[in-house]
């Protein structure tokens, strides 16, 4: 089985307990481990895969909480770093009008320094780039580009999820798109939401968006469509793989569970070329990954509600 190296941010989400009021009125917050690449690493480990999280947190109690959370979830954090800068914090509330109210206090995640020893570890394994804060500057962005080059030269299977956050890129969306392009060019697998696929391609239509993104380089594209399922696009197949019927409570982390489950299965595949030539194995994998996404929506939080292999088998 291949290792999966997930690079990016690990942070604290302070979620307002009383939803329906904006942050200026919220008094009580629940502390949650957050960060898409960290969620993906957790999803893989919970399904029995071998995942590493590569990111930076502060040497403060919040950093300790985050590292402990991943460690308890069997994620290997030995390649992560701690910094004197405070741990990155995000405060989230859903205001009365249904809009997300969001305050972001960026700290240690940007301090991740490039480590040349990782290059050898990437050889023939899987490297997942889960963008979000990685394009916001700092040492992290520098390390991110270098790790992309290392993954290419070490024959790694490269996976990319841009995790576009509208709150972080208001008015600078075009810069975000530019930063994503080298990753789409070099990735074997890309996971987008519909909004991301449209933003990155400039095309409204799903098929046209995929055609544009394939032309950039990515062979396998998955576009997650919430309750409708996932659009899978490869040279051999273009279709929606329907989702599983559940009663969703909180969709946080569904996308991370989806890509984590897909990568866990790819990690078990010996001949990666066959993924894009035949349609069936990949379709089955996406079907499984849809289940992982669906299960995650049936509970509150991201890491807490990720499925085990047993839960997937039972569904």
Residues that bind ligand ATP (CB under 6 A): 193, 224-227, 229-230, 243-244, 246, 248, 251, 253-256, 258, 290, 293-294, 297
Residues 6+ apart with CB under 8 A from 25: none
Comparison of 207 and 228: residue with beta carbon closer to ligand ATP: 228
Comparison of 49 and 293: residue with beta carbon closer to ligand ATP: 293
Beta bridge partners of 91: 14, 103
- The position carrying tokens 């085990």 is 308
Q: How many other C-beta atoms are found inside a 10 Å radius of the C-beta of residue 95?
A: 18
Comparison of 55 and 229: residue with beta carbon closer to ligand ATP: 229
Q: Cα separation of 315 and 308, whole Å?
A: 11
Comparison of 52 and 258: residue with beta carbon closer to ligand ATP: 258
Using CA atoms, how far residue 202 sits from 77, 184, 247, 279, in Å, is 37, 15, 33, 27
Q: Tell me the residue length of the chain.
A: 315
| Nearest distance, CB of residue 222 and ligand ATP, angstroms | 8
| Nearest distance, CB of residue 123 and ligand ATP, angstroms | 29
| Nearest distance, CB of residue 124 and ligand ATP, angstroms | 28
| Nearest distance, CB of residue 164 and ligand ATP, angstroms | 9
CB of 5 within 8 A of CB of 28? Answer: no
| Nearest distance, CB of residue 45 and ligand ATP, angstroms | 18
Comparison of 62 and 231: residue with beta carbon closer to ligand ATP: 231
Q: How many other C-beta atoms are found inside a 10 Å radius of the C-beta of residue 32?
A: 21
Residue nearest to ligand ATP (CB): 293
């Amino acid at each position: 089985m291949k290792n999966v190296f997930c690079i990016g941010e690990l942070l604290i989400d302070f979620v307002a307990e009383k939803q329906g009021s904006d942050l200026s009125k919220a008094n009580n917050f629940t502390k949650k481990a957050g960060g898409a690449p960290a969620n993906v690493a957790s999803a893989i480990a919970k399904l029995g895969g071998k995942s590493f999280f590569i990111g930076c947190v502060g040497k403060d109690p919040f950093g300790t909480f985050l590292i402990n959370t991943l460690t308890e979830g069997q994620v290997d954090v030995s390649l992560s770093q701690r910094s004197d800068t405070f741990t990155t914090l995000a405060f989230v509330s859903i205001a009365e009008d249904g809009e997300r109210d969001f305050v972001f206090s960026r700290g240690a995640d940007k301090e991740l320094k490039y480590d040349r020893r990782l290059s050898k570890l990437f050889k023939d394994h899987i490297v997942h780039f889960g963008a979000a804060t990685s394009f916001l500057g700092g040492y992290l962005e520098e390390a991110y580009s270098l790790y992309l080059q290392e993954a290419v030269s070490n024959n790694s299977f490269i996976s990319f999820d841009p995790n576009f956050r509208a709150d972080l890129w208001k008015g600078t969306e075009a810069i975000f798109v530019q930063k994503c392009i080298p990753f789409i060019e070099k990735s074997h697998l890309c996971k987008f939401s519909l909004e991301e696929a449209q933003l990155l391609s400039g095309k409204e239509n799903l098929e046209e968006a995929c055609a544009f993104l394939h032309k950039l380089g990515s062979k396998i594209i998955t576009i997650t469509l919430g309750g409708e399922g996932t659009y899978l696009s490869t040279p051999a197949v273009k279709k929606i793989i329907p989702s599983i019927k559940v009663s969703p409570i909180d969709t946080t982390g569904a996308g991370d569970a989806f890509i984590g489950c897909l990568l866990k299965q790819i990690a078990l595949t010996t001949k990666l070329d066959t993924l894009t030539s035949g349609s069936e194995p990949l379709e089955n994998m996406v079907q499984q990954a849809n289940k992982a996404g669906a299960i995650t929506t049936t509970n509150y939080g991201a890491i807490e509600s990720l499925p085990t292999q047993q839960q997937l088998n039972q569904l």
